[in-house]
Amino acid sequence: MAAATVTTKLERRSIDPVPESERHGHPRSLFTLWFAANMQITSAVTGALTVLVGVHPLWAIVAVVLGNALGGIPMALHAAQGPKLGIPQMIQSRAQFGVYGAVLPLVLVVVMYLGYFASGNVLGGQAVAQITHLPADAAIAVYALASALIAIVGYKLIHRFGWVASALSVIVFVYLTIRLVSGHDLGAVLAEPHLDFPKFLLALSLTASWQLTFGPYVADTSRYLPSATSVRSTFWWTYGGTVLGAVWAMSFGALAYAIAGKAFKGHEVAYVVGLGGEALLIPLLFAVTIGKFTVNVLNIYGGYMTVATALTAFSRRAALSQTARVTYIAAVGVLGGVIAILGRGEFLSNFVLFLDFLLYFLTPWSSINLVDFYLVRKETYDLDAVYDPNGRYGRWSGRALIAYVLGIAIQIPFANVEGIFVGPMAPILGGADISWLLGLLVPGALYTVLMRRARTAR
């Protein structure tokens, strides 16, 4: 009875540190959580984009594998920050940028969370609408509400739900993959694999960005693990789950779009569940809905903590009341639901632009955050100062902000966002977009140099 009472309690922690007495679990739970977060319909849509941009299906799958393998490295390196520090991912950015300075990347991450939550509501809402015959807007609202309720219960339920969704997604995707492959001439689809290298690099950047944009989430999902949990274990359990899940789902999406074309675009959920035939329509719709819940909940869960981190920077609050916590979650849920309803018409086209946009701003943050943790401060932080504008991390950190802004600026000449902006170096490279590589390497290196010079000057 006591155990049942504990498991039904709402999570108490928000932006405050998790004490050692409340730490629990094993890093293997990170595998199932991140496998489930990737093994779902939005990943399949991202895989479809690799073919949509003009890459041959076979090379699209190669781009899926390489992009996720590369992007998964910095993503999984963030996992160790959770157990070592016991605080949410983005509040730790105050140690690099200052308590007020961190608001700049925080605002951009809030945009990311809202965008992904909205896109998840569009796809999940498609399934809910087909199951319940609700109007599309009402189905989106139901899906957003259900996601918010799980986030309110909190960390333990999210991990348990991830385990269930992981097991269910394996069963569903094994079946759907067999149906997709056996029902079509795969040899014809993969024949004559010509390589358009600039477009291949674009597909590579799309899939790498999928992993890189998970950076702000990762420590949120590992911060309750015991502080003695090793860096190696958190990295490999996270990396294995996120890369394996994404590669499978994205490869499925690439093949589905190559085979179906317009039948897939704009009707992603209907096409996928239609592979199972009429008899399995409702069970597959339900499975797609449940599978998408994991990452949708992570979006609203991380979103509310990021909003709270930004707003509490000016009030010096180090924790939220239960009422405030629920209010933040509700606000993010409502706003994300409204964005989904207003933007669902051109979902697939808008989504590729959204991914491109995010990459330019998130890779410099991830670069600075990781080198600070592993190389500059070597996993040692003053947690009290994270909440105090007058503490050792101060209000603003000019060094981090300089590295961050220059990290964004150095990408601009190499950027290629189709229909919006093409940097002067992109045509020289045949239209290939390599800006994300510079955004990942340069800011961290510059920040490290600036920090070491500052310490030497003292």
- Contact call for residues 29 and 162 (beta carbons, < 8 A): yes
> Which pLDDT band holds residue 6 (cuts at 50, 70, 90)?
very low
Quick check: 248 and 46 in contact, CB under 8 A? no
Summarize pLDDT for 260-296 with one digit per residue, the tens: 877 776 666 777 777 777 767 777 777 777 777 899 9
- Which DSSP helix (H) or strand (E) runs through 385? helix 383-386
| pLDDT tens digits for range 383-427 | 999 999 999 999 999 999 999 999 999 999 998 876 678 889 988
pLDDT for the residue numbered 4: 39
**pLDDT (0 to 100) of residue 197:** 87
Half-sphere exposure of 121 (CA within 13 A, CB side): 35
Average pLDDT score over residue span 198-204: 88
Would residue 39 be called left, alpha or beta, if left means φ above 0 and alpha means ψ between -120 and 50 degrees?
Answer: beta
Q: Looking at residue 19, what is its pLDDT?
A: 95
Residue-wise pLDDT tens digits, 129-145:
888 889 999 999 999 99
pLDDT in tens, 38-68: 998 878 888 988 998 889 999 999 999 999 9
Tell me which residue has tokens 């890189």: 212
> 223 φ, ψ to 5°?
-75, -15
Write down the pLDDT at residue 347: 64
Q: Using a pLDDT cut of 90, give the percent of the chain over it.
A: 58
Across 149-175, average pLDDT: 92
Specify the pTM: 0.90
Per-residue pLDDT at 350 exceeds 70: no
Q: For residue 410, give the DSSP letter.
A: T
Q: Is the dihedral of CA 424, 111, 68, 195 positive or negative?
A: negative
Q: How would DSSP label each residue in 314-375?
A: TTT-----HHHHHHHHHHHHHHHHHHHHHH-TTHHHHHHHHHHHHHHHHHHHHHHHHHIIII
- Maximum mean pLDDT: which of 22-26, 186-190, 208-212: 22-26
pLDDT at 457: 61
| Tens-place pLDDT, residues 63-80 | 999 999 999 999 999 999
Mean pLDDT of the chain: 88
Q: Within a 10 A sphere around the Cβ of 457, how many other Cβ atoms?
A: 6
Specify the pLDDT at position 358.
76
Q: What are phi and psi of 87, to 5 degrees?
A: -125, 160
- Whether residue 354 has pLDDT greater than 90: no
Instruction: Please determine, for residue 237, whether its predicted confidence score (pLDDT) is greater than 60.
Output: yes
Provide mean pLDDT across the span 100-105: 94
Please, what are the domains in the chain?
A: 28-352 (1.10.4160.10)
Q: What confidence tens digit (pLDDT) does each residue in 26-40 have?
A: 999 999 999 999 998
| Mean pLDDT score, 349-356 | 64
Mean pLDDT of 333-337: 94
In whole angstroms, give the CA distance from residue 85 to residue 359.
26
Instruction: Give me the phi and psi of 378, to 5 degrees please.
Output: 50, 50
If one compares 325 and 188, the residue with the highest pLDDT of the two is: 325
**Residue 432: predicted pLDDT:** 76
